[in-house]
Structure 1
Amino acid sequence: MKNGWMNFFSGSVQVKVTGKGMERFLNECVRRKIDIWSVKRLGTESFSFFIHLKDIKLIRPIIRQSECKLSFMDRKGLPFLIRKSILNSGFVIGAVLFFIVIIILSNMVWGIEIKGAKPDTEYLVMKELEGMGIKKGKMQFTIMNVEDIQRSLTDNIDQITWVGVELRGTTYHFQVVEKNQPDPPEYFSPRNIVSRKKAVITEIFVEEGKPLVKMNDYVEKGELLVSGEIGEGGEKPRYVPARATIFGETWYKSTVEVELTTKFNVFTGNYKSKHYLQIGSLSIPIWGFGKHEFAEYREEEKDRNVRFLKWELPIGYKNVTIREEEERERVYTVDEAIEVGKKVGQNHLEDRLADDARVKSEKVLRQTTNNGKVKLEIYYNVIENIVTTIPLVQGD
C-alpha cells in the first residue's frame, strides 16, 4: 500500500496462510475487495501478507470455506500501541506525572536573594515582597512581572534609591542601592554671592562673608549680595568662600488655557478575560471563548513562558484582559474653569521652582473666553532662594 500513514493509524496485521488452494484464497480476497499487500511465498504451501485490522472479520469466512489455515505473525499500527500503553499504564502514567511535577517545580519560586542592603533594609524589602505575594513556593504565573516589582519596591520603601530585579530560573535576585548619607561639607575656593534674578529681599542669613544688602532691599540680577573679601580699614583683606541663604520676593507670569467642554475615556469596570496556551507564535484559546460586546475597549496582555529545569520552553501562558471604556464629557462653567486654570498654573509653576520656594500670592491679570476656551494670564509673587555664586578673583 502506498499510504503508509493511513495504515499506521488504522492498524495492520501480518498473517500466514498454509494449505492447498492458496491461489483460490487470494483470488477470493481480491473479489471481496479486501486489501492485501506485501505478499511473500514462504514455501510450496504457505505465504504471508498484510491486511487491515478491520478486514480480519471479513477474511475469516474465506478461511472456513477453503482448505487453508491462518495464523498471525505480526501486528503494526496505532491501535496496538495504544493497547500496549494501556497494559503498561503504570509506567506511562508515572512518566507523565514525573514530567508534570518537573514543570510545576520549575515554575515555582524557590529562592529570594537580596544583595546590597543592610539588615533593616533587607527586612523591609522582604515584608514588602510578602505583601505583593512573592515568597517561596509561589507559582511564577501568579506574580507580577519584574518591571512592576521594581517600581513598587522603589515607590514604597524610602530607604532605597534603586533596586534591580532579575528572575533567574526559580530564584529572584534583588540588587539594592540604599540612599546615601549626607555628604561631608565641601570646601570651596574664595567666592562672592550674587543675585540670580530681580527680587526684594525678604530673609537673609549669612554664614560667612560680608553682607552688602539688608531686608527689603531691591536687587537686580547679578548684583553682589555677599562679598568673599573680609577686612576693613588698613587691614589686609582676607578672602573666604561666601556662604549665605537669602530669600527674596520674585515675580512670574503664566498663561493657562482651559477648555470648557472636554471629552475623555474612562473604564466602566466591565471586563472580559481570555486565557491562551502559547506555542511559539501560535495562541490556542483555553478559556474565555466568545466575542465581547464592548463598543470601545482597551486590551492588556500578560505573557509567561513555561520553564523546564533551567531552560525556557517555547510554551507559555497568555492572559488578555479586555476592559470596556466609555466616553465622558466634562463641562465647566466659566468660574469653574478659572479655578481649574489657577490650580493648573500653580502646579506648573511649582514644578519649575525649588523645593524650598513657596507661592506667596497670585492675581489674574487678564481673562478671555473664546472658541470654548478660557484663557488666563496669571501673575505670581514667589518667595525663593535667589543666591548664586561666582569665583572671587583676588585684587578685584
Structure 2
Amino acid sequence: MRAPMLADLRGYVVLSLRGGRVEEFLNEAAREGLRLWDVRLTAPGQGKLKLDLDDFFRLRPILKRTGCRVHVEKRCGFPFVLKRVLRRKVFLLGAAGFLIGLFLLTSLVWRVEVTGTEKLANETVLAAARQEGIYLHQWTFRLKGLDELARGLLARLPDATWVGVERKGTTIRIRVVETTRPEDKPLVSPRHLVAKKNALVTKIYAEKGRPMVLPNTYVRKGQLLVSGELGEGENRKWVPATGKVFGLVWYESTITVPMEQVHRTYTGDSIEKSYLIVGKRALQITGYRKGQYAHSVATGTPKMLSIGRFRLPFGWLKETVRESEEQVYALSAAEAEAAGLKRARDDLLLRTGEGARVAGEKVLAREAKDGKLHLKVHFEVEEEITSQLALVEAP
C-alpha cells in the first residue's frame, strides 16, 4: 500500500511487529480501515510497517485478539518535530527574536545616496530629504510614496529640474538633474588694452573697443593697443575693451648642456625592508641580511595608526629597494645642441603662456668647454602682449 497523502503533515510511526498471528493481524487491521503501508515480513512471525499516527491507538483491540506485540522504532512527521521544538524554549525564543530583529532591521533606512549633483551641495539635498522624512534609521513604512517624495524634494530644491527617488532594500537613492543656467558674467569697469612688452604686432582680435595699432607695427611697453573709448563728442561712450593682440617678442637665452647623459634603468632585482615607526624615528625590523646594491632606488609609504580622526604616532613602513644601473651616453655636438634648443623652447613656451609659438631662432654663439656645450640663442616668440589698464574716471 502506498503512503497516504499528507502523511508527513499528520505524522506516522514505524513499528516492528512480532509474536502471535502476524498474518491475521494484518488482515484485521485492513478490515478495520487502518492506514498502514510499507508492510514487510522480515522473518516468520515478525514484520515491519508504517502506521498513520491517528490510527495508532486503534491497534490495542486487534493486538489482543491476535496475540501480537508492537514496538515503536521511529516517530516521523510534523507533530513530532513540533513537539521537539517546543521542548527547547530557549531555542524557540531565540529564533523568534532573530526573526523579529531581522524584520525590524530590514524596515529601517540604513543608507541615503545622492547622485547627479555638481553645483548643488549634497548637504542641501540631504537637508531637504530630512524635511520630507528621508533620513538614516527612519522606518521604511513611515515613508511617503516615492512619487510624492520626489515631488516634495523638487519643490524644496529650486535649483533642480528633476528629482527621482528610488528605494532598494534599506537604501534610498535620490537622483537630481540640476537646472542649467547661463554663467553670470563679471561686471567690469571701462578699460584700455595696452602692450605689456615691446613687440612687433602680428594679429589683432578686438571684440569690444577700437583698435589703435595695425599689424606689422612696432609697439613699446605701455602703448595703447585697443581703446575703450567709442564715438566722439556727445556720442562718446566708454566700454571695457576686450580682445587679444599678438606680437613677436625677442628673447636671448644662454644654454648649457652636458655632453654626457646619465640614464638609470632597473635590473629587476629588489629587496623588501620593514620598519616600525615611533614618532619621527624608524626602527628596521626585517631585511638586514639581504645584500646591498651599488645603485638603488627606495620607495615606500608609511602607514600610521589612527583612532577615529586622531592619528597616533605609531605605524609601520614597508620599503622596496630596487637595484638600478647607471649608463653614461656621450652626446655629439649636434645632439647636445638639439637637446639644449628643445629645452629652451619648452621653457619659453611655458613662460609665455597659452597660444604662444616659437616663430624663429638663431644660434649666436656655441662653445664646447669642460665637457659641456654652451649656447647663446636668439628666439622670436609670437605671444599675446595685452594687459588691462582700468579707467578710474571717464573723461
TM-score (norm 2): 0.48
Larger gyration radius, structure 1 or structure 2: 2
